[in-house]
């Protein structure tokens, strides 16, 4: 199967109205790609459409099966194919099981957004475009070391990491590239309250596109670059420091 060049590609980015997803969308648009994004809130979608009238902005909640089909119908109607699916939409929930008796409040929704929906959407897309070029899963450095303040986030991202790894082997004979992006702390609305060093989302997007061009299995921007190696060499020290972030 031929790999489309960056400028000819049709790309669908979930959660493409903010943060890392928005930077990925703008990086692809700058390359001349055809881009579709989705999100739930009307305001950011309208802002995106005003800034990028050539792109397609779809109001869709990825946890809603009907909305996913409507979104893929909209991509078909506008572009008639899909080359790259980027499963980016996600949520971060702090939970303290030591002090909060209701620590599992909203857990089904967290699991649906971060784990079930990207798996379901991947299946929807493969059923429609068996010849697509690449599927990206945005997990996190916390997929490898779970954060103390958000253990369920670590759990669901580790789950998505496992899905991406197995799927990569399943789809290898079909030449579909499966890329996992593990961003470090990134300067987006998701962690606006976090102090300390954060990577620019534009830099995360640039590294992701390079990893896609080079057909790498993982994109490891900034501090996550050394994480897999450090986990092999000094697992306890690394786990202690990352888990505190
Ligand atoms: N920021 C970081 O430090 C960091 C680090 C590691 C990994 N990540 C991961 O990177 C990804 C992007 O994070 P971000 O920081 O860029 O987040 P963000 O700025 O909060 O953006 C999240 C995007 O996802 C959309 N979204 C959320 N739930 C959705 C749903 N159910 N259906 C459709 N769209 C939905 C949001 O739009 P609506 O709210 O309007 O739906 C928004 O466009 C996430 O998977 C996150 O876990 C982030």
Q: Which residue has the tokens 């949520």?
A: 91
Instruction: Write out pLDDT tens, residues 32-48.
Output: 999 999 999 999 999 99
Give the torsion sign (CA, 190, 61, 203, 92). positive
pLDDT of residue 2: 38
Instruction: Write out pLDDT tens, residues 151-160.
Output: 999 999 999 9
Mutate to test the pocket of ligand 1, among 15, 60, 150 (most ligand atoms within 8 A of CB): 15
pLDDT of residue 6: 47
100 pLDDT above the threshold of 60:
yes
Ligand 1 centroid distance, CA of 79 (Å)? 24
Q: Can you tell me the distance from the alpha carbon of 118 to that of 100, in angstroms, rounded to the nearest whole number?
A: 29
Closest residue by CA, ligand 1 atom 25: 15
pLDDT of residue 238: 85
- Contact between 13 and 21 under an 8 Å Cβ cutoff? The reply is yes
Ligand 1 centroid distance, CA of 88 (Å)? 6
Closest residue by CA, ligand 1 atom 45: 90
Ligand 1 centroid distance, CA of 132 (Å)? 23
Q: Can you tell me the distance from the alpha carbon of 230 to that of 237, in angstroms, rounded to the nearest whole number?
A: 9
User: Once rounded to an integer, what is the mean pLDDT over residues 69-93?
Assistant: 98
Partners of residue 181 on adjacent β-strands? 138, 219
Ligand 1 centroid distance, CA of 242 (Å)? 21
Ligand 1 residue neighbourhood (C-beta within 6 Å) = 14-15, 17-21, 38-41, 44, 61-63, 88-92, 113, 138, 140, 183, 185-186, 188-191
Q: What is the pTM of this model?
A: 0.96
Ligand 1 centroid distance, CA of 73 (Å)? 23
Instruction: Write out pLDDT tens, residues 104-123.
Output: 999 999 999 999 999 999 99
Place 1 in a pLDDT band, splitting at 50, 70 and 90: very low
Instruction: Write out pLDDT tens, residues 184-223.
Output: 999 999 989 888 899 999 999 999 999 999 999 999 999 9
7 pLDDT above the threshold of 80:
no
Mean pLDDT of the chain: 95
Helix (H) or strand (E) holding 166: helix 151-171
Instruction: Write out pLDDT tens, residues 136-177.
Output: 999 999 999 999 999 999 999 999 999 999 999 999 999 999
Determine the atom of ligand 1 nearest the C-alpha atom of 41: 40
pLDDT of residue 103: 98
Determine the atom of ligand 1 nearest the C-alpha atom of 62: 32
- Closest CA relative to residue 18, chosen from 162, 138, 180, 156: 138
| Catalytically annotated residues | 153
Mutate to test the pocket of ligand 1, among 20, 36, 200 (most ligand atoms within 8 A of CB): 20
């Amino acid at each position: 199967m031929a790999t489309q060049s960056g400028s000819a590609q049709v790309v669908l980015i979930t959660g493409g109205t903010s943060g890392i997803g928005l930077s990925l969308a703008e990086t692809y648009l700058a390359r001349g790609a055809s881009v579709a994004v989705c999100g739930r809130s009307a305001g950011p979608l309208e802002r995106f459409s005003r800034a990028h009238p050539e792109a397609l902005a779809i109001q869709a909640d990825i946890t809603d099966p009907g909305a996913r089909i409507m979104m893929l119908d909209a991509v078909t109607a506008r572009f008639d194919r899909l080359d790259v699916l980027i499963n980016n939409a996600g949520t971060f929930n702090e939970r303290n099981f030591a002090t909060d008796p209701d620590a599992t409040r909203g857990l089904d929704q967290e699991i649906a957004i971060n784990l079930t929906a990207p798996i379901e959407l991947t299946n929807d897309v493969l059923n429609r475009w068996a010849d697509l070029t690449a599927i990206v899963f945005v997990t996190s450095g916390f997929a490898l070391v779970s954060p103390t303040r958000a253990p369920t986030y670590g759990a669901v991202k580790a789950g998505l990491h496992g899905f991406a790894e197995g799927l990569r082997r399943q789809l290898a004979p079909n030449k579909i590239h499966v890329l996992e992006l593990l961003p470090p702390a990134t300067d987006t609305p998701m962690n606006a309250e976090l102090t300390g060093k954060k990577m620019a989302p534009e830099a995360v997007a640039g590294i992701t596109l390079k990893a896609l061009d080079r057909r790498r299995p993982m994109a490891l921007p900034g501090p996550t670059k050394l994480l897999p190696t450090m986990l092999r060499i000094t697992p306890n020290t690394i786990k202690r420091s990352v888990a505190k972030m």
